[in-house]
Structure 1
């Protein structure tokens, strides 16, 4: 197995007397598609919020490439190489696709306020590079032919792909996908599955939450299962689908029997 990229060790999270996560342990290897699944309310989104700095753990450690993430604000975590999409698509609908992706590149444009205000050669060169990179990322997700289209005019599936392109514009090493196929039809799911495989083949790690078991089992290299805030299983898709604890968590004892 590849070396660990993201490591979560003994992580606990509570809100007052409500304990959401209990001693959570797993590791996302580099160069893989890793899934985190579990029933509604299991704590999956809380894990994502902890990794991206929207929340802080009450106990345990979260490291990325060996560097501690606990206590860092979200923008610093993004700068270290973690990008995220959300279950509810967040794009700038009044901008065209190229502009949406260029927003994700702003941390990599080093022209400063002076350059922008006075349209210096350095500013123009940086803008040109940004447009070229944004168009390249749109090509990766098959949207380059719509670069000048307003994002509000895209189909749901294409809006999701645009969100992927913008996340990749931050130059991440790990892409976190929060229920990427929620609300999609079967055809859109098939297309998006291939897009995620292409992202992995380009050298990015992928860590995803998803409720669609057919999608998860057909895509992920490894899967962790969270139930009532605890990891109850971790392994390959075959190991997970045949695990009695996982079956019980999804079906209940009587149905599992």
Structure 2
């Protein structure tokens, strides 16, 4: 008898084919209050983390950029200004509610010239090979069922010389861990319940962070999928890390 392949959903082990659906339920639930919760639970720091990614990315006019797990479009808004009318930014997200939030937000901001929107799974990106100058993913990789498959898909659609940028929660410094655990496991679900009416989704958020590879492990995984000159930068004492890699 063949044993069914499983993966983690937070601290649970579930059949691998169920994860995408369960993650989708989480983000359908919180989409309308997602930006507010990001500001509250990070004390606004997520804006600085994303700004660091944008600065490190060396975005120039005319570039083609793919923002995977684009959410409500924070990165895309800044990319749109930097690439100009001759560039192109595609927001891709597996979750229709998040993609709708991102599209409405950018339209309200007057960003109608260069963004496109595609509902897509990071593991099988429906774009031409060697097409994008940059591929970015911010706080989305930990929700992907098969990270190595997604990374290979991102590698395929990048141009030679193109850059991958991953912003994700990571492993904080040891002196910070006890306080971080109290905040994460005790306060965040309560905040999620208060603001969104959904404590379980933010409990999953915390658990998914703990199950995500640490800085060195993720760097090795990125390298193993073909990327070169890989490096990472710890932000806020390692609570978040920015990883980068190049396709040559």
TM-score between both structures, scaled by the size of structure 1: 0.28
Identify, as 1 or 2, the structure richer in helix.
2
Larger Rg: 1
Higher RCO (Cα < 8 Å, 6 or more apart): 1
